[in-house]
A and B are shown apart, each in its own frame.
Chain A
Amino acid sequence: MAELVAKGEEPEILFWVGCAGSFDERAQKITRDICKILQHVGIKFAVLGTEESCTGDPAKRAGNEFLFQMQAMTNIQILDGYNISKIVTGCPHCFNTIKNEYPGLGGNYEVIHHSQLIQQLIDEGKLKAEGGESFKGKKITFHDPCYLGRGNNVYEAPRAALEILDAELVEMKRCKSNGLCCGAGGAQMFKEPEKGIKDINIERIDEVLDLNPNIVAAGCPFCMTMLSDGIKNYNKEDEVKVLDIAEITVRANGL
């Protein structure tokens, strides 16, 4: 972003990468794929790079409102400093926090999740599923991230990205507003689960495996981790792939 400003240019959209997208090896790949999509359709975008910091979501969900607001207000200062008006995030948690919780602290932006960006591009005819890997005959199911689905009523956008593939889409019984959490939300990602009889991601993966899909699609880096761990738990990495909506789009278009 700083480089763009130095050149006296303004981006159409800011890509908010998020902590997972910046540091988690698996999520880094998704980050690069989101960039590929943006480049492919010729949208001029920027990232904050080292100026980006945690939105404060895990702090807020863990009950530390001080730390959340410190993070939020610092981020808002930076975003406002660059005159940002439109943001796309690679993570439903960043999406929810910036979209819903920043306005009350003075940060007002148009915020979309990358699945919504992909949906818009498909609707505008700028993005298709051609020139890349064929998904014909593949069975795909989508796992709704809580903060995208129930949290913000975004159910159709990620599905739109799958519908343009020539694949067989199947829904789990617990989908959309009845979707089952992967187990990572509410700062659970960063702690061991409480004592119980089963891990939540295993409960979810059991449901995934019941459908016997080739691909389980995700839209959140934390769901990605939880689902991948669940698949590994059953040693099914070769049969069932966990792929982000952005990765599927990139593959389908051979980007």
Chain B
Amino acid sequence: MANYFNTLPLREKLNQLGVCEFMDSAEFSDGVEALKGKKLVIVGCGAQGLNQGLNLRDSGLDISYALRKEAIESKRDSWKNATENNFRVGTYEELIPSADLVVNLTPDKQHTSVVNAVMPLMKQGATLLYSHGFNIVEEGMQVRKDITVIMVAPKCPGSEVRAEYARGFGVPTLIAVHPENDPEGKGLEQAKAYCVGTGGHRAGVLRSSFVAEVKSDLMGEQTILCGLLQTGSILSFDKMIEKGIEPGYASKLVQYGVEVITEALKQGGITAMMDRLSNVAKIKAFELSEELKTIMRPLFQKHQDDIMSGEFSRTMMEDWANGDEKLLTWRAATGETAFEKTPAGDVKIGEQEYFDNALLMVAFIRAGVELAFETMVEAGIKPESAYYESLHETPLIANTIARKKLFEMNRVISDTAEYGCYLFDHACKPLLADFMARIDTDVIGRNFNEGKDGAVDNRALISVNEVIRNHQVEQVGAELRKAMTAMKAIKTA
């Protein structure tokens, strides 16, 4: 199978990268109609599979689960999850032939074998749904021409997809139709109906393409979302230990700090995050982040280039073929870092203290979000897509670090994201060695404002504010956040 994106002429590459539309809620007024009375068969019953299925059934749709024979015979957890919640469960052979919509919610790595197994069983004119485009775009899976191929990707873990639905809300969702597989022109209507069934239409839906989703998703997760959060956390922690800050405090400051800091990001973008700092601290954080952007820009560009050319997926698939050798080695190494092994101390850290004493973290996050966004947009990805895959998701990932540090983050994200995260982290740390050598505890570990009178030059402050506020990620973000009506404060520890 050839990389699908690379088979396209440049015109079509740009065309597909450019699909990006924030959908109006009026577009969902037909509810689940397009899927009403149809047979939906979900392949896989893990966290996404079970929770999406519960939502869809509660929205009045007909759901059953196709599992591999071994999973059924040995009564694996996926079988128990489905049967104990009274879903019909059967083998591929039993359920796929009558399915109108086959929903593939297995991990990326299994897509090729799952799709190869179900495709011959699917009836004429059925629809195949993905929640991630890797298999189609990077692996170049060719789907039978009578089959419609769509994507519905809730931008949250499965447990959240269910929790928000049960509350009467939903999670932001991305939908797409594969242009090579929309023979009847029904793809978009079905994707919208599925999205209503999971509750996503209440929280904001972005119409994208398989190509735009994959190229931006890979870039976001490798750089700002996972890669830089990992690098920034480890470097910040190590610096504090080197300079004699109490380890329990340092551990807690980083672990929960990323969550508290990015909560401001979620509510009001980079502007709100930077505004949580005093004027003197803001100017300092700005200077550090500008410096970080200059140092890291080539690395961000390299990641984007490798993603666009298919080099990234090629090397990662080599590792799959190699029994995940690199992935497993890197995962083990992350588990051994001092940050990971030092439990958060039993100290009270106030909400504002997470900003005042962790100015370096704020600088890392601004630099990472802006760089990822800028690099994606330069590569032809639309600003709205770039916003989703950079700023929007950062707080969600930070939340996993607050739960159980980097190990938890890497457990929750996909293997693809995890692989990319380590790749970035290992290249980024040496790049920042000189920069980190100049860092002291005034910007990480202690209150930057201590011993300063807080005076700043008016013009310096004004120009810093202008640069922050006029960045494109801020303008796009303000529009999109307004559309996502309800954003609830996450519960901080």
Co-complex (A, B): no
